[in-house]
Copies of this chain bind each other. A is one copy, B any other.
Amino acid sequence: MTAIAHPLQCFFDPTSVAIIGASSDPDKLGGRPIRFLREAGYEGKIFPINPRYDTVQGLKAYPSLNDVPDPIDHAVIIVPATGAHDALQACIEKGIRHVQILSSGFAEDGPAGQVLQDALVALAARHGVRLLGPNCLGIVSTSNRFYATFSTALEALSPRPGGISFATQSGAFGSCAYAQAIQRNLGISRIVATGNEADVDVAQCIDFLASDPATHIICAAIEGCRDGDMLRQALLKAAAANKPVILMKVGTSSRGQLAAATHTGAVAGNDRIFDAVIRECGAYRANTIEQMLDIAYLCTHLPLPANAQAGILTVSGGIGVLMTDDAERHGIDIPSIPPALQNRIHGLVPFAIGDNPLDTTAQVGAVKQGIPGLAEMLLQDTDWSILCVYLAQIPCDERRFPDMLESLGKLRRDYPDKLIVLVGPHSEKMRAEIEARHLVIFADPGRAMAALGGLVALVERRRHLVRHQETTDRTPIVAAPAVGTQLDEAQAKHILAQYGLPMLRETLCTTAEQAVQAANTIGFPVVAKIVSPDILHKTEMGGVLLDLPDEQAVRDAYATLQQRAASVPGNPHISGVLISPMSKGGTETILGVHVDPWFGPMVMFGLGGVSVELFKDVAFASAPLTPARALALIQSVQAFKLLNGWRGKPALDVSKLVDALVALSHLAHDWRAVLSGVDINPFIARQDGAVCLDALITLKNAAPA
């Protein structure tokens, strides 16, 4: 236990609990928590509250909380929605600071329910009381046998204590996950479903689990995210504690988002931005519950391995090849075996084939301790943190396998910082024996490699964590304007230039003569563009005239632009005409800022042309950026190759792109409260520099979002 308890501690580890709306019927919603708490053997005190009974399921019942003589840590409210406010009021009077509301009939039911829910939140906030729910499934804590839930999943399935904890918004999602975990005999610590998240959300639960000594692995699922920074902090805290976090996000497809909106009213976040943030914060996103549990299973006997390098030892060449294909697909590094080690290997098993994968062939059965011997060489003489051993049907063989298992178990103890993954069909009995020796086994080679892919992604991500909090205090270079302000291209460029983005030498002109003068100063040919905060799409209305060769052309262009602007509906305000040098050559890139409703300002990078628009080849990173992160962002798009000496062309000056992205990220951060987005398209990259050709800054509307 930490010296100061986590604010959510009493939700998970109360010394006493009141059940408000307790039922004598152990199958009813108000009866199940009492039954589960008693069956599990909860050691704290249970106070059923129900004015109609003297006893409930053999426990003394109280008409009201006031009648309980003892202090109470934690209350579970299971009364109809309309009675929840009074129940909460009673909790407050009793001094209870942690209240779960399992009842439904709140925000998920429409506007009337939302009113009820808002009243609960206001009441709790006034008194510093924390709320879990409403419309949630409750909490399970195996270490203290605290089963404050009405989940029927626990009727048929009983969790074994262990290090995996679950925090999910949807109770049913959580049940589906932990039911599978229980059936796989995975050890479980905490289970929490947050339901409507009127107060406590999944991010806060992850924060608790990150500091919870009983939790070693965190599995979570979210639908909405109210506070992206809280989620970032919680994930970073888990990373600092060396606890793997495997997340799922529900509602990623268009039809799924529609269904999610119907289901909980959650607004789906931008999926790619979610991925970027999760990656920065060292967590991994799984697509299926099974994969989430597979990765958690790999982590059960060992913290995260030190590196992503794996050896594959196999009794079958064909399966070795299959696993190697899978390794490449899943980003697992399969290094070559050093020559000296090759010699040692052939000293023990002369007929072993190949490098890595190392194929012992089926004949290895004739060599005493052949497989454990080779496994030990690979563990001892390499730095690889992972060893996969494909054993074919040997783990089904109760005559042959137990001896080998003893040897493998010894290796596990001798090399405690290395992960040993056995692969091959096996009996349930042998699986239990294997796991008792802190080894893991998968029946299917592909499934094993997919899980390892998730694990090595976690390992890699935790080497490159983005500690967002460290860089957020700075004085704005340019003070943010008020929301609702409209900026034209010239203003946007002026602001971006102050942040350090490279601009052309341009002049905003309000007469034809000014334009001609500007063109003479700049040198022909020039470009003339209409400038108006009200015209966002200049090209579509013919507002950009290129390659003007002389004074007369500039004069004509000025007139044409004024004329065209006058014919735009809505009487747009015209700031003037921008005269710029005609820029030629270079590679078009796109720099942008997207202010995400979950995660705030995110910087975007991509290449112009089809890369972004057709192939969706863009990447996002949280603002502000360091130069190293800006470079990583640039390198993470597929089209980076086009910048870096594509087809014999000289490499472009990527350092100028780095500088521009860092500068842009500072603007994004400084203006985060008012910004809606920035679009610099194109930003031209050259061999010897870079320049912004067009820029748009949009601010949030003054009206409340």
Interface residue ranges, A against B (CB under 8 Å):
152-153, 155-157, 168-173, 175-176, 179-180, 183, 221, 223, 248, 250-256, 258-260, 262-264, 287-291, 315-322, 324-329, 334, 353-355, 357, 359, 362, 392-393, 396-398, 424-425, 427, 443-447, 450, 609-611, 613-615, 617, 638-639, 641-642, 646-647
> Are A397 and B156 CB-contacts (below 8 A) given A170-B317, A172-B319, A250-B318?
yes
What are the nearest 3 A-B pairs in CB distance? Answer: A288-B446, A170-B318, A172-B316
Nearest Cβ distance between residue A393 and chain B, in whole angstroms?
4
Known: A156-B393, A157-B396, A615-B617. A610 touches B170 (CB 8 A): no
Partner of A425 from B176, B326, B354 at Cβ < 8 Å: B176
- Chain B residue at minimal CB-CB distance from A359: B263
Inter-subunit contact A446/B319 (CB<8 Å) = no
- Distance between Cα atoms of A179 and B425 in the complex (Å): 6
Structural contact, B255 and A324, CB atoms closer than 8 A: yes
State the CA gap A263–B315 with chains docked (Å).
12
Of B179, B248, B262, B393, which is within 8 A of A152 by CB? B393
| With A172-B317, A256-B325, A614-B646 already in contact, 20 other A-B pairs whose C-beta atoms are closer than 8 Å | A153-B392, A153-B393, A155-B397, A156-B397, A172-B392, A175-B392, A179-B393, A221-B318, A223-B321, A250-B318, A253-B328, A255-B328, A262-B353, A263-B321, A263-B354, A287-B326, A287-B329, A289-B445, A610-B639, A611-B614
> Who on chain B is nearest to A259 by CB?
B321
| A639 / chain B contacts, CB cutoff of 8 Å | 610, 614
Do residues B357 and A259 form an inter-chain contact, with CB atoms below 8 A?
yes
Subset of 7 A-B contacts with CB under 8 Å: A172-B316, A172-B362, A179-B392, A223-B321, A254-B328, A259-B355, A614-B639
B317 with A264: CB separation less than 8 A: yes
Q: In the complex, what residues of B have CB within 8 A of residue A157's CB?
A: 393, 396, 425
Q: How far is the CA of A199 from the CA of B405 in the complex (A)?
A: 40
Cβ A446 vs Cβ B169 within 8 A: no
CB distance from A71 to the nearest CB of B (A): 34
Partner of A321, one of B152, B171, B251, B447: B251
Residues in B whose Cβ lies below 8 Å from that of A617:
615
Chain B residues whose C-beta falls within 8 Å of the C-beta of A354 in the assembled complex: 259, 262-263
Name the residue on B nearest A641 (C-beta): B614
Q: Which residues of B contact A156 (CB under 8 A)?
A: 393, 396-398, 427
Q: Is the CB of B393 within 8 A of A325?
A: no
Nearest Cβ on chain B to A358's Cβ, whole angstroms = 10
Alpha-carbon distance between A319 and B156 when the two chains are bound, in angstroms: 20
A318 contact from B152, B223, B444, Cβ within 8 A: B223
Contacts A319-B173, A319-B176, A610-B642 given; indicate if A252 touches B325 (C-beta within 8 A).
yes
Given A157-B393, A359-B263, A615-B615, are A176 and B638 also a contact pair (CB < 8 Å)? no
When distances are taken between beta carbons in the complex, the residues of chain B under 8 Å from A262 are 317, 353-355, 359
Q: A471 → chain B, closest Cβ, in Å?
A: 33
Residues of B with C-beta under 8 A to A171: 318
A511, chain B: closest CB distance, angstroms: 34
Contact present for B288 and A450 (CB under 8 Å): yes
Tell me, in angstroms, the Cα distance from A317 to B259 when the chains sit together.
8
Q: Which residues of B contact A155 (CB under 8 A)?
A: 393, 397
A317 and B396 CA atoms in complex are apart in Å by: 40
| A329 partner, pick from B253, B328, B614, beta carbons under 8 A | B253
Residues on the B chain within 8 Å of A425, using CB = 153, 157, 176, 179-180, 183
Report the Cα distance A587→B541, complex, angstroms. Answer: 25
Determine if B288 and A444 form an interchain contact, defined as CB atoms under 8 angstroms apart. yes
Known: A290-B444, A321-B263, A614-B638. A327 touches B172 (CB 8 A): no
Checking B180, B263, B444 against A320 with a beta-carbon cut-off of 8 angstroms, the contacting residue is: B263
Say how far A421's CB is from chain B's closest CB, in angstroms: 15
User: Would A290 and B447 count as touching, CB distance under 8 A?
Assistant: yes
Given the interface pairs A170-B316, A262-B354, A425-B183, the reply to whether A321 lies near B256 with Cβ below 8 Å is: yes
How many angstroms between the C-alpha atoms of A609 and B642 in the bound complex?
A: 11
- Considering the chains assembled together, what is the distance between the CA atoms of A172 and B611 in angstroms? 43
The interface residues of chain B lying within 8 Å CB-to-CB of A152 are 392-393, 397
Nearest B-chain residue to A324, judged by Cβ: B256
Closest to A317 in B: B263
Query: How far apart are the CA atoms of A341 and B259 in the complex, in Å?
Result: 18
B contact residues around A614 at 8 Å (CB): 611, 638-639, 641-642, 646
Known contacts A263-B321, A393-B156; is A255 also within 8 Å of B334 by CB? yes
Instruction: Determine which of B153, B250, B447 lies in contact with A288 in the assembled complex, contact meaning CB atoms within 8 Å.
Output: B447
| A170 contact set on B, CB distance < 8 A | 316-319
Establish whether residues A327 and B176, one from each chain, have CB atoms under 8 Å apart when the complex forms. Answer: no
Report the minimal beta-carbon distance from A141 to chain B, rounded to whole angstroms.
Answer: 20
CA distance A155 to B395 in the complex (A): 12
Q: How far is the CA of A317 from the CA of B614 in the complex (A)?
A: 33
A256 close to B290 (CB less than 8 A): no
CB neighbours (8 Å) of A447 from chain B are: 288, 290
With contact pairs A255-B328, A611-B610 given, residues A446 and B289 touching in the complex (Cβ less than 8 Å)? yes
Contacts of A176 in B (CB 8 A): 316, 319, 392, 424-425, 445
> What separation, in Å, do the CA atoms of A287 and B444 have in the docked complex?
11
Contact status A446-B328, CB under 8 Å: no
A359: B residues at CB distance < 8 A: 259, 262-263
Q: A316's closest neighbor in chain B, by CB?
A: B172
Question: Do A321 and B250 contact each other (CB < 8 Å), given the known contacts A290-B447, A450-B288?
Answer: yes
B251-A443 in contact (CB<8A): no
- Given that A318-B223, A641-B614 are known contacts, is A324 also in contact with B259, CB under 8 Å in the complex? yes
Tell me which of B254, B289, B397 contacts A444 (CB under 8 A).
B289
A250-B318, A362-B172 given; A263·B353 CB < 8 A: yes
Are A172 and B255 also in contact (CB < 8 A) when A289-B445, A393-B157, A445-B289 are? no
Query: How distant is the Cα of A262 from the Cα of B353 in the complex, in angstroms?
Result: 7
| Contact of B263 with A444 in the complex, beta carbons under 8 Å | no
A289-B445, A610-B639 known; A251+B325 contact, CB < 8 A:
yes
Question: Nearest-CB distance from A175 to chain B (Å)?
Answer: 6
* Interface pair B259/A320, CB less than 8 Å apart: yes
In the bound assembly, the distance between CA atoms of A169 and B319 in angstroms comes to 12
- B315 & A446 in contact (Cβ 8 Å cutoff): no
Closest chain B residue to A288, Cβ basis: B446
Question: Which of chain B's residues has its CB closest to A358's CB?
Answer: B259
Task: From the candidates B317, B327, B638, name the one contacting A615 in the complex (CB within 8 A).
Answer: B638
